[in-house]
Amino acid sequence: MIAQDASIAVTSPRMSRPLFLATAALPFTGALIGPLLPLLIVFAGTLPPTAPQANKPVALLITVTLVCAAALSLYAVVVQRFRGFPKSLIAPLAAVIVTEFIAAAIGLNFGAGLFSIGCQLGGIIFLAAGVIVLADRNTRRRFITCYLIAGSIAALFAMALSIMRQPPAMFAYEHGRASGTFLQPNEFAGYLLFVIPVALAQLAAPRWLRTLGWLVCAIAIGGLVLSVSRAAMLSLACGMVIYVRRFGQRALLVYLAIALAGLLIVALGFRDVAHDPSENASRITVWQGAARIAQRFALTGTGPLAFHIVYPVLKMPNAVTDEVHAHSVPLQMLIETGVAGFATFLWFVWAAIAAAQQVYRRIAQGDREKMLLFAALSAGFAASALQNLIDVVTTFLLIAGWLNLSLLLSLGRPETAEQ
């Protein structure tokens, strides 16, 4: 596969400006309005009545904007014959879509299944367009700038709502934890697991971008603390080891000491802050109920986004609340799409890791800007993987994962610029 893809890294034709702008439409739209995309969950119908509800007209406007941007980028990518798209990802991605459609067709909520598949297809278009336009260094810097500014605004908005206790119903439902447009604190924290490393990775970027990175990092860390997402904090502390080790053993040892002290503070001081103490044990009960669902629907699954339909029937007798997901992505995938869908999901993860390893080998060792960004993105994916083992963060699955994967894979491509 390395030999097969090596030709991509030799030359890269320049694009006309209209074609370049069309290709960049969805990536830049996603970077700018990414924090608003969780509002689209209103169309899936999975939120419980007591949860914060998104405004449907606003969600519809966001949808129209995304569809238009996706149509432009898809046209441009087709014209360029999907140039640069990692060939090793084609088969597993196709398998994921096929198994998800089959599960939706024979599952319990076909409409929600189509919503999920539509999000995945949009992510694939984002990936195809992103690996083309983000290969250009200046375009990539502009993209990162948009991404960081949007992330800082989202964090400031979420913190402001939490501090002002507005709106009261949302503040009460979230126990005062910051969530903003993400509706759920853990979703907000999952988004920040990429914003923080990417912001820190700008140490080798131009001074203006480096300054922006430090500022956004400080804001995002504040947002993460106010989200009071203990799983996200632990996951970020572990994932950042990948990034810090780039600076040598001494830096790594200092970081590990600071991280350990921070985790002890979180474990002892944040144990029940903004949390119902009963939640500390309830997740195990949810996993037990989810395992019963996986056993009953082992072959074909319940269909995408249908967990909340089945769980009330098969939950454990001691479970006191209904849940909308299994609090574990691997378990959620097994429940929604069955054994076949779970296998294709693992296949895609394996192929994506292999593609990332190829990207790393293509980056010039002296290109510190790219190397730091690659390490930061790897740290973000590692942190998200840990968080999603004990939670289901749809923000990562439907938004942050595609955005940051396209950015990572673009690092191994040659410079691509507009004419």
Residue 55's pLDDT is: 77
Average the pLDDT over 343-368 and give the result: 95
Residue 5's pLDDT is: 40
Residue 273's pLDDT is: 61
Burial of 353 (0-12, 13-18, 19+ CB in 10 A): exposed
Task: Output the pTM of the full model.
Answer: 0.91
**Domain residue limits at 401:** 2-410
Cα distances (Å, whole numbers) of residue 22 to 70, 72, 82, 401, 408? 9, 5, 14, 22, 21
- The C-alpha atoms of residue 242 and residue 259 are separated, in whole angstroms, by 13
Residue 118 lies in a domain: yes
Q: Which residues contact 31 (CB under 8 A, 6 or more apart)?
A: 143, 146, 147, 150, 403
Residue 223 lies in a domain: yes
| pLDDT tens per residue, range 226-257 | 998 888 999 999 999 999 999 999 999 999 99
pLDDT of residue 416 exceeding 80, the answer is no
Least confident window among 127-136, 294-303, 328-337, 390-399: 390-399
Least confident window among 97-101, 150-154, 307-311, 319-323: 319-323
Residue 175 lies in a domain: yes
- The C-alpha atoms of residue 122 and residue 140 are separated, in whole angstroms, by 20
Residue 416 lies in a domain: no
In which residue are the tokens 């994506």 written?
Answer: 352
CB atoms < 10 A from the CB of 166, how many? 11
Residue 77 lies in a domain: yes
| pLDDT tens per residue, range 39-60 | 888 777 676 666 666 678 888 9
Cα distances (Å, whole numbers) of residue 295 to 314, 325, 339? 11, 16, 10
- The C-alpha atoms of residue 401 and residue 331 are separated, in whole angstroms, by 18
Residue 146's pLDDT is: 97
Burial of 78 (0-12, 13-18, 19+ CB in 10 A): exposed
Residue 418 lies in a domain: no
| pLDDT tens per residue, range 307-327 | 988 998 888 887 767 788 888
CB atoms < 10 A from the CB of 149, how many? 15
Residue 389 lies in a domain: yes
H or E stretch including 362? helix 329-362
Q: Is 52 within 8 Å of 170 (Cβ atoms)? A: yes
- The C-alpha atoms of residue 237 and residue 255 are separated, in whole angstroms, by 9
SS3 403: helix
Angle at CA 37, nearest 5°, toward 33 and 39?
A: 130
Total tally of structural domains belonging to the chain: 1
Task: Name the token pair of 387.
Answer: 């968080």
- The C-alpha atoms of residue 408 and residue 388 are separated, in whole angstroms, by 20
Residue 415 lies in a domain: no
Q: Give the DSSP per-residue string, 110-162.
A: HHHHHHHHHHHHHHHHHHHHHHHHTTSHHHHHHHHHHHHHHHHHHHHHHHHHH
Q: Is 333 within 8 Å of 116 (Cβ atoms)? A: no
SS3 418: strand
CA dihedral 60, 64, 66, 72 (to 10 degrees): 170
Average the pLDDT over 322-344 and give the result: 91
| pLDDT tens per residue, range 172-198 | 878 889 999 988 899 999 999 999 999
- The C-alpha atoms of residue 46 and residue 56 are separated, in whole angstroms, by 14
Residue 200's pLDDT is: 96
Q: Is 377 within 8 Å of 407 (Cβ atoms)? A: yes
SS3 15: strand
| pLDDT tens per residue, range 383-407 | 999 999 988 888 887 788 999 999 9
Residue 3's pLDDT is: 37
